[in-house]
């Protein structure tokens, strides 16, 4: 039997922390939709690859009726090069090639989901390899998740780039139903021994908030200096009580100001470290120049202050109403380095992650 391999390559960087549950549900919905389609059940095999600063295969190519995609993890950084290196490795290992004695798998479909520009320049070398050796072996559909990206970078590997205007529940649900319907259309075609033209892979009706990017109309600034996504700032903090990490997320608005989107727990710290870049950091963020969100508390203990800066440079939470006070200063112990010191309110800058 000739299979139709589907690869979901999903950005799970820190800037995705608010939207990962929606993407998670969307992928599960696709599997459910395909499970009721006889053509898909016979031909479609799905693999899920996640990437941040590092990449990981969540599940290898698996037939739809036995597939259960694990929950999406979280990591630091957005390394396109890592993602496509992992993808090429999986194609080489698991996609059956056509030979003189057998028909191989159908041409794989790759859905590449991201909300940020790359934080490493490794993509340049990897994209060259993709174009030279893999571009005819697989079709790539890139999806920008409500983000302002440098589309010229994604344009190096595909002309099929789509933008979600919004990540509200209705848009995300409609988008993933569209992806599912497009996969079903392709599975019917290969079931009838036909192929689908590159620009017809995706069904036309994507909804009002999904747009295909016209690369000819997009500015192409390029990125020679990689130091984090300039539209996002993430601050990594630690709960002073439970000693668990959290992410304080800021996103640049249309006026150029960074607005606080929320504070979120790191779901699995071991996997987070496994998927995060080994070095490098984003730009500093001046706490006086951001738009803070009301009632943005620690997600672990509900402390109202989530940006307390230790002399070690790390961030943690506190509750001024409950802390011991000496001459107007709070006596606090940093959960990162263990040192105890005296703190008071003031203005300062904070180092950020790669996003």
Is there a single domain that holds both residue 108 and residue 190?
Answer: yes
User: Would residue 52 count as lying in a domain?
Assistant: yes
User: Would residue 224 count as lying in a domain?
Assistant: no
User: Would residue 204 count as lying in a domain?
Assistant: yes
CA distances from 31 to 103, 180, 186, 276 (A): 26, 8, 15, 28
Per-residue pLDDT tens, the chain, 355 aa: give them. Answer: 789 999 999 999 999 999 999 999 999 999 999 999 999 999 999 999 999 999 999 999 999 999 999 999 999 999 999 999 999 999 999 999 988 888 899 999 999 999 988 988 899 999 999 999 999 999 999 999 877 788 999 999 999 999 988 888 888 888 898 889 888 888 877 665 655 555 555 656 666 778 888 887 765 444 444 445 678 899 999 999 999 999 999 998 888 899 999 999 999 999 999 999 865 567 788 998 899 999 899 999 999 999 999 999 999 999 998 877 778 799 999 999 999 999 988 888 888 887 7
Number of domains observed in the structure of the chain: 2
Full domain range(s) for residue 135: 4-212
Which of 179, 212, 245 is where one domain is finished?
212
Is there a single domain that holds both residue 208 and residue 236?
Answer: no
Is there a single domain that holds both residue 202 and residue 87?
Answer: yes
Query: Which residue's entry shows tokens 């898909």?
Result: 40
Is there a single domain that holds both residue 32 and residue 165?
Answer: yes
CATH number of the domain encompassing residue 78: 3.40.50.410
User: Would residue 219 count as lying in a domain?
Assistant: no
How would you classify residue 295: left for phi > 0, otherwise alpha for psi between -120 and 50, otherwise beta?
left
Is there a single domain that holds both residue 79 and residue 15?
Answer: yes
Paired strand residues for 47: 7
Is there a single domain that holds both residue 239 and residue 204?
Answer: no
User: Would residue 223 count as lying in a domain?
Assistant: no
Which of 212, 242, 266 is where one domain is finished?
212
User: Would residue 217 count as lying in a domain?
Assistant: no
Q: Cα separation of 323 and 18, whole Å? A: 30
């Amino acid at each position: 039997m000739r299979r139709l391999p589907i690869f979901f390559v999903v950005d799970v960087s820190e800037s995705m922390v608010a939207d990962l549950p929606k993407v998670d549900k969307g992928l599960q919905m696709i599997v459910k939709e395909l499970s009721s389609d006889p053509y898909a059940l016979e031909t479609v095999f799905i693999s899920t690859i996640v990437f941040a600063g590092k990449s990981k295969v969540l599940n290898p190519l698996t037939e739809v009726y036995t597939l259960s995609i694990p929950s999406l993890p979280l990591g630091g950084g957005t390394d396109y090069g890592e993602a496509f290196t992992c993808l090429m490795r999986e194609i080489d290992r698991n996609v059956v090639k056509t030979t003189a004695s057998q028909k191989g798998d159908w041409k794989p479909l790759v859905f590449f989901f991201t909300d940020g520009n790359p934080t490493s320049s490794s993509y340049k070398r990897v994209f060259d390899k993709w174009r030279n050796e893999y571009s005819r072996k697989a079709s790539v559909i890139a999806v920008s998740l409500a983000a302002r990206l440098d589309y010229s970078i994604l344009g190096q590997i595909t002309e099929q780039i789509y933008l979600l205007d919004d990540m509200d529940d209705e848009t995300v649900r409609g988008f993933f139903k569209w992806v599912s319907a497009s996969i079903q259309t392709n599975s019917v075609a290969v079931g009838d021994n036909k192929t689908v033209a590159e620009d017809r892979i995706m069904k036309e009706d994507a909804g009002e908030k999904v747009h295909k990017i016209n690369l000819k109309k997009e500015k192409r600034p390029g990125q020679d200096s990689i130091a984090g996504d300039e539209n996002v700032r993430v601050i990594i903090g630690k709960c002073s009580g439970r000693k668990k990490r959290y992410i304080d997320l800021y996103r640049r608005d249309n006026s150029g100001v960074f607005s606080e989107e929320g504070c979120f727990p790191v779901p699995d710290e071991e996997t987070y470290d496994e998927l995060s870049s080994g070095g490098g950091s984003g730009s500093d963020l001046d706490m006086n120049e951001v738009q803070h969100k009301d009632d943005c508390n620690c997600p672990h203990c509900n402390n109202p202050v989530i940006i307390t800066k230790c002399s070690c440079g790390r961030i943690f939470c506190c509750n001024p109403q409950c802390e011991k006070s000496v001459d107007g200063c709070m006596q606090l112990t940093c959960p990162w380095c263990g040192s105890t010191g005296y703190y008071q309110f003031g203005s300062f800058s904070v180092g950020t992650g790669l996003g």
